[in-house]
Chain A
């Protein structure tokens, strides 16, 4: 109601105006980011190399007789180097997700969208695709010119070779991705022999298409219109967060000038209004307008501005990583960095360290096998030879290691409790093969009449001989009236 009143009020007070039609959808304008060189660009490329060597390389590492990192969805086993994870270990995935989210909080609180600017696959692949594009079509000006030019054989060759390289890289990316779920060496020979399964083909194609589309065409639109992290990261910012900032006090009033001109006489700031910061921006914004939601914090504008400042013979850092408080108070670099250790950051860091420690400890202490005790419901209790009363249980033993294991069974809780099983071998152990689950039928016996009728708590103790680990599981022993 309030807004409509205000709307009416504003229409009344403002002089009569013509109603204009505003379109709420518009064709996205293509952005031609200019290549950059400098400190932040070097860091970004370092992160690109690091993440991509890990991504493309890891599936090829062998570990014993298998791939070191393999998420076998069909068999419901995740192989991570020495570790074999089962659906029961889903809690670790939860922990990893929480740790990832908290890391994002921490980095964002310290220096804004670090993830977006340096390591996000969207940024990384866009940067790689842009590099290919620049190699084939040339830099910003050449690309604009080429796009505006009419169809020629040269344009056709350039465009098609660019797309050829893009598609090849995309397919390789899709292939690598599927290689995490389906052994990559076999997948490789399947590709060569045209023997891919329908789902493998689909996912290589789908992931490849997503890479091609996102890094080649969607680019900044993914960050602006699709990415949820981009939206909530701004909630992690505070006045002491380092963000890419244009030093307005120093830069304004902006204006072009001769390289030799004396600033004091001309009433000009350091900004020469060369628009380089706008040309290099991968999201097409003007950082001089202040912090905007589109800014992914890549620092390209800072790099290019430093080059310009060097040429002009001015001090670097007209566009730099700085904080709101530092700009307002005119703080020095050290004063600003001191504020990094503020309570918010300390709490994020402490929580993160705690969680990582917990996860590592938990993985370290993780039992190499799991046991579920299932009491047979069909049989309450029965009389066995020798005047013994017995209950039947099934011990579902899950061997989470990659070698066969022998298990010793024992039970406590009642006097004279005897463990019987037809599955026991000569050494009174049961064997469970590597990474297999076996239901072992077990009978617990007590002398009939030795305890009163009712439900009695008992506990099974299962000891893995080779791994020297013990698991205890509770159950009940029923004595009928």
Chain B
């Protein structure tokens, strides 16, 4: 318990807690009987209001007292057993973190058999399994949809998972790898390597031309030569390389924005794009089911 930086507070809490409990005990003892100036036997307690209104003594049953005593004893045991009195960690060693871990262990144990039956199934079979698909859909909705969209069609900077255009590879093994370890896609700023501002614009037009987009063909012809600087990663034909995660520039899919302006920006500034690793969140069996769902999005034409 190092939650307090000042040692005054643990002492403060200890004093308040103990004073509270012992105060209750004292109060209980003090109020168990009273001295009353009343005629013997008339069963009034001597309190008089409004001239002649007298209070009758209706004693509570004695077991009430035992209830109070039990709560006092309980609180003393609680002080000893659980984190309390400011700095006492408690004999039972209970912490919130431990309880969370225990509950997670119980929950994981409960869902393990559910995933176990899918663990041995190959991905293509699993993608056709309705039950597994429903589980995968829920896992995706709760964990992946925030970035890739509920429909997995992605958006600017977040790849579309349904179009069979894979940056790091679309085989089940590669998808599992991506989910488990995450990915970092990094393109350095290339302006210096390409040349001056005009060269950058020419290269951008060349890139537009190889994907069949609207372009200035004169500039594209000039840019073709300068594209050599890009070819190291994107390949001479501009089709990219899944091994290093360089994008295919010929397929008309623009992860970071379409058009001349967006491409010039990328050449000038580069970009770093990251998908975080999910291994801490899921068990390998869960990732297996999720892989099947994601793989099925682009490899299984007959949805439902």
Contacts and interface: CB of A to CB of B under 8 A. Distances in A.
Contact of A25 (B35, B49, B59, B149): B59
Contacts of B34: 21-22, 24
Interface residues of B, number: 46
Interface of A (DSSP majority class): mixed
B33 A22 contact: yes
Interface string A357-389: 000000000000000001011111010000000
B151 A422 contact: yes
Given A7-B48, A23-B59, A438-B137, 17 more contacts: A3-B47, A10-B48, A14-B37, A19-B37, A21-B35, A22-B34, A22-B38, A22-B57, A25-B61, A28-B63, A377-B146, A378-B145, A378-B155, A380-B155, A382-B155, A392-B151, A394-B141
Interface string B128-147: 00000010011001000111
Interface of A: 2-3, 6-7, 10-11, 14, 17-28, 221, 225, 374, 376-380, 382, 392-394, 421-426, 430-431, 433, 438-439, 441-443
Contacts of A441: 141, 145, 149-152
A451 to B, nearest CB: 20
A442 B151 contact: yes
Given A393-B150, A424-B304, A442-B151, A19 B35 contact: yes
Interface string B263-302: 0000000000000000000000000000000000100000
Contact of A439 (B61, B63, B141): B141
Contacts of B65: 25
Contacts of B50: 6
B214 interface: no
Given A7-B47, A422-B162, A24 B61 contact: no
Interface string B27-64: 00001111111111000011111110000010111111
A22 B36 contact: yes
Contact of A22 (B45, B62, B141, B145): B45
B146 to A, nearest CB: 6
Contacts of A2: 49
Contacts of B146: 377-378
Contact of A26 (B62, B141, B148, B154): B62
Contacts of B297: 422
A422 B303 contact: yes
A392 B145 CA distance: 11
Contacts of A443: 151, 153
Contacts of B38: 17, 20, 22
A399 to B, nearest CB: 13
B149 A26 contact: no
A225 B303 contact: no
Contacts of B134: 433, 438
B33 A6 contact: no
A378 B147 contact: yes
Contacts of A421: 151
Nearest to A380: B155
B153 A24 contact: no
A392 B153 CA distance: 9
Contacts of B39: 17
7 contacts: A17-B38, A23-B32, A26-B61, A377-B146, A380-B155, A424-B303, A425-B304
B174 interface: no
A341 B303 CA distance: 66
B48 A20 contact: no
Nearest to B33: A23
7 closest Cβ contacts across the A-B interface? Answer: A441-B151, A441-B150, A28-B61, A26-B59, A379-B155, A394-B150, A425-B304
Nearest to A2: B49
A425 B152 CA distance: 18
B91 interface: no
Nearest to B155: A379
Contacts of B150: 374, 376, 392-394, 439, 441-442
